[in-house]
Chain A
Amino acid sequence: MTDLKLRVKEMIIERLKLEGMAPDQIEDQAPLFGEGLGLDSIDALELVLGIEQVFGVKIEDEAAGMKAFKSVQALTDFIAEHRKA
């Protein structure tokens, strides 16, 4: 697991208070919403705020969210792409 992906998983667990869950229990390709982790719209807002706080990356609108929240892998790629070097 890459460092960034691990940090993304840790951020998700901490921000959403997924107590008792370990980073390696979150599958890279599993959808975050609906099936998969089964997150809801409140979780989405928490993630948007967490991503901004931890990684300095803004998810501006729902279109960007759709792309970024497909899976942990998609979110990691999104952060890597938009993060200032």
Chain B
Amino acid sequence: MTDIPAHLPHRYPFLLVDRVLEREPGVRVVAEKLVTNGEPYLQGHFAERPLVPGVLLLEMLAQAGGFLEAEPLHGAAIFLAGVQDARFKAPAFPGDRLRLEVDAEGAFAGLMKLKGAVSCEGRGLCTATLLVKRL
């Protein structure tokens, strides 16, 4: 079982990975995020119809991508450097158990490219390619 807070510096309310299901550093990570009614951003997005903002699905993929790094990220400066070909196919709602899949495409000079997909019970919600820079 991966110790998430030991690896990622993110904390409530911005830690968006609950469990790591599969992990092969440098290759592939599958993680999970359970969307609860208590998520602070759902209060205002939207008042009548809570759904997870698309940008946060990208953030979930980026955080899951942090587990592609073999070493814990505490003390490391790691930034989102680019987002390509993001597609949002269906919204994520409170109660959804989101599956976050990231596959490393390659890395050069501290910059990593990864392909990510968010799904819920086999339904694809979001796909995107992310670039992450580590200093």
A residues with a Cβ closer than 8 A to B are 41-42, 44-46, 48-49, 52, 59, 62, 65
Contact A65:B109 (CB < 8 A) given known A42-B81, A42-B82, A42-B131: yes
Residues A65 and B108 in contact, CB atoms below 8 Å apart: yes
Q: Which residues of A contact B111 (CB under 8 A)?
A: 41-42, 44-45
Identify whether the interface residues of B are mostly helix, strand, loop, or mixed: strand
Residues A49 and B109 in contact, CB atoms below 8 Å apart: no
Q: Which residues of B contact A42 (CB under 8 A)?
A: 81-82, 111, 131
Contact A52:B106 (CB < 8 A) given known A42-B111, A42-B131, A45-B113: yes
- List the A residue with the shortest CB-CB distance to B81: A42
Identify whether the interface residues of A are mostly helix, strand, loop, or mixed: helix
Q: Which residues of A contact B108 (CB under 8 A)?
A: 44-45, 48-49, 59, 62, 65
- List the B residue with the shortest CB-CB distance to A60: B108
- Tell me the chain B residues, 5-48 only, with Cβ under 8 Å from chain A: none
B106's partner among A41, A48, A65 (CB-CB below 8 A) is: A48
The 7 closest A-B pairs by CB, nearest first: A48-B108, A45-B108, A49-B106, A45-B111, A62-B109, A42-B82, A41-B111
Q: Which residues of A contact B133 (CB under 8 A)?
A: 41
Q: Which residues of A contact B113 (CB under 8 A)?
A: 45-46, 49
- Give the distance in Å from the alpha carbon of A46 to the alpha carbon of B131 in the complex: 10
Q: Which residues of B contact A41 (CB under 8 A)?
A: 81, 109, 111, 133
- Give the distance in Å from the alpha carbon of A62 to the alpha carbon of B105 in the complex: 18
Q: Which residues of A contact B107 (CB under 8 A)?
A: 45
| Nearest CB in chain A: distance from B132 CB, A | 10
| Nearest CB in chain A: distance from B135 CB, A | 11
Q: Which residues of A contact B112 (CB under 8 A)?
A: 45
Residues A44 and B109 in contact, CB atoms below 8 Å apart: yes
- Give the distance in Å from the alpha carbon of A48 to the alpha carbon of B105 in the complex: 11
